[in-house]
């Protein structure tokens, strides 16, 4: 559990030190006090991000670096610093430099709740894929690099497709990238099906909250492959659709375009469910996210809840607060709460 947090030259803070942090921590102040920046620092220290800003944007104006660090209740120290001019990142554990890989292995993972999450089922499928990929990056140390390598291969394959279309290359030049694409896509699906199968098996627990109002709920994963024949499916598709891919200059299928939907009483959550039903199920999906991460890593993740309570009615608010009591939680809000560990900026 995090007991202290220190920020130097991070966003609007020249220096900020928060001590005696508890299991539940409510960061209360007006919107212009930049409460989210505190959560962003914690998320970076857990290899995650709330704002997804570049590191340069996280350095305080007129400064050249930032430094963020937390101490645990065992008084271990984990820190991350970034120098803007040289683009140098430094990860440290108990004042000794460590690799990014080691940093990812020892740091606490985090689960992020923010208002945009409440629109996950309404907005672009990319938001739902990001939901799955974030869970996997927090659960498996090598997934982040695998995803980066996969995107690079798609970029090279699409570039080759364009060259073939422009008669600057021939189809034989595509063989290498197709082989690499199949290998990486297959690896991603091995992880993707771990979380998909977990969600399929556990999504029915949502019925506990709905009681008699809903009788059936299931998750549908929308993909062109079957779990037991991924490589064969991809190879067959690539061979069959090579002419279309050349004309389009893109690889329009597989992990980077898959999607999922939630079906409640045979109605699509994204198209026909009420706002109340959707909020309830999304909160439950986030609950399953931290359960999965804990199961895969054997460590409880930190929960970061950014200005979400104002988006929820009392029923949903109580539902969330009740479920998070076993995890260390940082919650930003503009409203004061009684009998809580209040942190004023």
Domain check: are 271 and 312 in the same one? no
Residues 143 and 278 in one domain: yes
Q: Which residue has the tokens 């620092």?
A: 41
Q: What is the CATH number of the domain that holds 23?
A: 3.40.50.300
Q: Are both 50 and 185 inside the same structural domain?
A: no
Asked if residue 246 and residue 132 are part of one domain, the reply reads yes
pTM over 0.75: yes
Q: List average pLDDT for each run of 10 residues in the chain, which is 345 residues long.
A: 95 92 82 79 92 93 96 90 96 95 90 85 88 94 93 95 95 94 94 96 83 82 90 90 92 86 88 79 90 94 84 76 85 64 62
Structurally, the chain folds into a number of domains equal to 2
User: What is the reported pLDDT for 60?
Assistant: 95
Same domain for 205 and 90: no
Residues 6+ apart with CB under 8 A from 90: 79, 80, 81, 82, 83, 97
Supply the pLDDT for residue 211. Answer: 62
Same domain, yes or no: 140 and 278: yes
Strand residue runs (E) in the chain: 2-10, 13-18, 24-28, 65-72, 77-83, 88-93, 96-98, 110-113, 217-222, 259-264, 267-268, 302-306, 329-333, 342-343
Say how many Å lie between the first and final Cα of the chain, rounded: 21
pLDDT score of 31 = 59
Domain range for residue 324?
Answer: 1-109+302-345
Task: For residue 270, give the CATH number of its domain.
Answer: 1.20.1050.90
């Amino acid at each position: 559990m995090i007991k202290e947090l220190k920020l130097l030259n991070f966003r609007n803070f020249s220096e900020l030190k928060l001590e005696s942090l508890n299991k539940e921590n409510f960061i209360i102040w007006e919107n212009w006090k930049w409460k989210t920046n505190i959560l962003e620092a914690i998320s970076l220290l857990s290899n995650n991000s709330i704002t997804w800003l570049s590191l340069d944007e996280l350095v305080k104006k007129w400064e050249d670096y930032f430094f963020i660090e937390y101490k645990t209740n065992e008084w271990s120290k984990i820190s991350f610093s970034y120098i803007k001019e040289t683009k140098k990142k430094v990860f440290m554990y108990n004042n000794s430099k460590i690799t990014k890989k080691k940093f990812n292995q020892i740091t606490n993972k985090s689960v992020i709740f923010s208002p945009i999450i409440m629109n996950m089922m309404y907005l672009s499928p990319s938001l739902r894929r990001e939901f799955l990929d974030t869970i996997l990056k927090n659960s498996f140390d090598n997934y982040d690099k695998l995803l980066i390598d996969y995107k690079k291969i798609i970029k090279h394959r699409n570039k080759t497709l364009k060259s073939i279309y422009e008669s600057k290359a021939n189809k034989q030049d595509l063989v290498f990238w197709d082989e690499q694409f199949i290998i990486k896509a297959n690896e991603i699906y091995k992880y993707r099906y771990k979380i998909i199968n977990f969600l399929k098996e556990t999504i029915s627990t949502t019925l506990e909250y709905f009681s008699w109002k809903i009788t059936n709920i299931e998750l549908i994963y929308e993909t062109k492959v079957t779990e037991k024949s991924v490589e064969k499916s991809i190879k067959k598709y690539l061979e069959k659709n090579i002419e279309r891919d050349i004309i389009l200059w893109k690889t329009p299928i597989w992990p980077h375009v898959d999607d999922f939907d939630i079906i409640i009483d045979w109605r699509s959550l994204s198209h026909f469910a009420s706002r109340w039903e959707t909020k309830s199920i999304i909160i439950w999906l986030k609950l399953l996210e931290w359960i999965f991460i804990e199961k895969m890593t054997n460590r409880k993740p930190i929960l970061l809840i950014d200005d979400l309570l104002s988006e929820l009615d009392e029923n949903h608010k109580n539902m969330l607060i009740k479920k998070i009591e076993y995890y260390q939680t940082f919650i930003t809000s503009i409203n004061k709460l009684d009998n809580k560990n209040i942190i004023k900026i």
